[in-house]
Structures are given as C-alpha cells and as structure tokens.
Amino acid sequence: MRLNQNLTSHSALAGIAVLLALGIANSCADKKPAYAGPFGREVSEAVPAIENAVGLKFKTPPKVETRSKAQVRAFVTGQVTDPRAAREFAGITAAYKRLGMIPDSLNLQKFLVDLLEEQIVGYYDPKTKVLYIVTDAPKEAVGITITHELVHALQDQYISLDSTQKIEAQNDRQTAAQAVFEGQAVYEQISAMLGGSNVAMNLPGGWDRVRDMIRENQGSMPIFAAAPIVIQETLIFPYLSGAEFVRNFKDRNTGQSLYGAMPVSTEQILHPSAYFGNRDAPTTLTLPPLSGASAVYQNTIGEFETRLFLFQHLNDQNEAVRGATGWDGDRYVVFNTTGGQGLAWVTVWDSGVEASEFYDLIDQAIRKRYNATPSAAAGAVSKSYTAAGRSLQISAAEVGGRPVVMYVDVPAGASTAVLDLARLQLQQ
C-alpha cells in the first residue's frame, strides 16, 4: 500500500528518530548563508555536505519556502483526492478491507490526510521544485528535515521523482522505487551530518533499534499509533529497509549511480541476493477475464505486504516472513458480483515447496480470521470456507510449470469460480 503518492515527505517516523538517536545537532550558527530566503544558514551548510555524501552536484540552487499547517493539509488533501488518486484509493481500500488488513469503517483518504499532517515537518514537491518547511515546526527537527528533503531535491535533478508515479497498477514496483528515494535520503542525510562517515558503523543498535524507538515514541504520534499495522509498516518500510538497501548498494557498487538499474520489487529491497546476486525479477501476471463478475480495480501486493497480510492474521513474525519468502509475483482484482464486492488474488512462487508453505499459512489465516473450518480434507489442493456472510476459496495449481496459489473472497451465495487459472498468463 504505497501511501505517499507524489509526496516525498520527511516525518518523525524515521529520519528524526534516527538522528535524535545519534544525538546529532544541526548547528550552523557561525556559517554565512549563501542562499536567500528562509533557512539560508541551514541550506548553506547542508548543500555541500549532501553533495559530498551523494557524489552529485546540485544543477540549480534549491529553493526553500514556508507553509502553514493549513496549507500543508490542503496540499496533502489535493494529493489524495485528485481523480487519479481517488480511483487508486478506492481500489486499494476495497482490496485491503477484503483482505482484513484495514477495518471496514476506515476512511483511508481522510485518515491518511490526518496522519501525514501529524507527521510532516517539511516536504519537497517535484512539481514546483520547492522544499517547503512547516511554519512553527520544532526547531530541533527543521535542520534534519532540510537535510533530508534537499536529498530529494538533488535526486529530482538527476531522475524524475514523478516517473514511477506514472506506472499504474504496480504497487510493489512503486514501493521499491520509493524505498530507493527515501532510503537514500535517510542514509545520505545521516552520512552528511556525520561528516561522510559510514552510517552502518555509527548507528547504535542498527535499524532495528531505530524501529524500536519509533514504536516507543508512539505516544507523541497518536494518529500513527492508532493506524492499522499495514499503514504503520508501509510508512516505515521505505525509510528503514530502503536505507539498508542503499547501504548495501554503496558497499557493493562504489561510485555507481543508484538510478541506473532501479529495483523493481520489494523482494529485491528485502533480499540482497535478489538484487545484487542473480537478479530475480518478478513474474508478471495477466489475469484472465472474470466469469460472472465485473472487474473494478487491479494491482499488485508484493512480498513485503504479503508478509503483512500473514502477520495481520497469524500474529507471528517468523511465520509471516517464512510464508512470504519465495514470492515471485502476484496480482489481485477487485470485482462486483450481484451480491456485492469480491476479490481474487493470485500469487506465483519460486518453488512448489514455498507455494505449499504459503497455501498452508493462508489456510491458517482464514481459519483464525473467520473461525472457520474448510470443507476439504487436509492436503487438498482446494479448500472452501463459509463464514461472516462470505464464501472463500484457496486453490493450488501449476501454470506453465510454475506453482500458483489463488485466494478468492466473495459474498455468500456468489460463485468463487471467477478466474480460470488455466487461462492465467505468466511472463518473466
């Protein structure tokens, strides 16, 4: 669930917690500002440090302006309510409610506006090419935010930050790209403020400690604290997992550009071997036409959010990681039936063993979520469930020699035979 849309925002979720944990202060009291406008001193100190850390020069001087809380809310609202974004949110909301990852009562658009308003200290807008800082933002956060957002401004001068947003119905690929952009901003922000030091060697407790600090700091972020797991984790993922990916890239590809061969899946962000070794590009799934239903929305989930789905219902991190490992591609479709809305989700796996593990765990997830018992015997390649006004089915099959698992959820009384897996197309 890629929540930032076109907004590259710096929030208390990651960068501030990281840098406060390090006890770094962004002091530039005696530095003569070289940049006009607000925060000239901070920009003057941050720009050369960022250029040195990233290894790229700013083509044009960055521009910084201030925005009130009301202006920030209006901006974020515009980001999530323009026609294209509204369609995306409607489809994502329907899918994740059917998967049990967000409550039926949640208005995702409004919640996201409230959440980002709580988090944002500043943001870089690729459309205006301006870095905005929130008026009356905490002083200790402003310098950190400027450094982070200036990295985004520098990125935008070498690769369009809007480019990946134009790819439709590819959530997992967009999440991977966002992890590069945010991960680089976090990594180089810290590196710049450490004078170019190796970030990995200077993070007490590593990224896991940062994640713990974010959790511990939830009391100061009440909206974030109340967010469903999928929202919390997909907000944190680009910053922390992205920063670890960037660290790996810099260690293995000294002097090379991050943007030459962008990762195309969260699998490549999560598993160094999937990107730096024998690069494992995901399989593209083309779903066949629906039977007895009309399609509303399609997208991908990806390995990371497959983990979140399993964790949501099993509450076991190790099992969630195990069950999602071996993911090689997926696609879901939200559709309308005469009885209401349904969802079909098809996943393809690296091996039959990994597909079987996912099949078994998704069976457990359904049992726990609905307190339901399947109608098939143990070991069957298809199981059906009826509970809470829904009919569900999971199926395991081979398509073109590849192991596939399908999950279908429809209103009770509607047919679960909405997709013919024999007509599924797979392209590597």
In this predicted model, what pLDDT tens digit does every residue of 17-65 receive, in sequence order?
A: 344 334 444 444 455 567 877 899 899 989 998 998 888 999 998 899 9
Q: What is the pLDDT of residues 371-424, one digit of tens each?
A: 999 997 666 799 999 999 999 999 999 999 999 999 999 999 999 999 999 999
CATH 3.40.1000 spans which residues of the chain?
Answer: 284-427
**Beta-sheet pairing, 402-411 with 340-349:** antiparallel
Q: Which residue has the tokens 């409607």?
A: 90
3-state secondary structure of 136: coil
Reported in sequence order, the residue ranges of 323-420 that DSSP labels E, i.e. its strands, are 327-337, 340-349, 382-387, 390-399, 402-411
Please name the helix (run of DSSP H) or strand (run of DSSP E) that holds residue 323, with its range, or none: helix 317-324
State the alpha helices, DSSP H only, in 55-107: 69-81, 83-98
Residues 6, 73: Cα–Cα separation, whole Å:
15
pLDDT at 15: 42
Output 120 or 20, whichever has higher pLDDT: 120
3-state secondary structure of 249: helix
Please name the helix (run of DSSP H) or strand (run of DSSP E) that holds residue 366, with its range, or none: helix 352-370
Rounded alpha-carbon distances, angstroms, from residue 47 to 51, 151, 161 = 6, 9, 19
State the alpha helices, DSSP H only, in 164-284: 171-193, 206-216, 222-225, 229-252, 266-270, 272-276
Provide mean pLDDT across the span 275-282. Answer: 95
302-314 and 352-370 helices, crossing angle to 10°? 40
pLDDT at 197: 61
Q: What is the pLDDT of residues 131-171, one digit of tens each?
A: 999 998 888 788 889 999 999 999 999 998 877 666 778 99
Residue 119 has, within 13 A of its CA and on its CB side, a CA count of 30
Residues 89, 154: Cα–Cα separation, whole Å:
29
pLDDT at 91: 95
pLDDT at 428: 83
pLDDT at 38: 86
Q: Which residue has the tokens 């800082």?
A: 133
CATH of span 284-427: 3.40.1000
Provide mean pLDDT across the span 212-230. Answer: 80
- Phi, psi at 66, each rounded to 5°: -105, 155
Question: What are the tokens at 263?
Answer: 């990762």
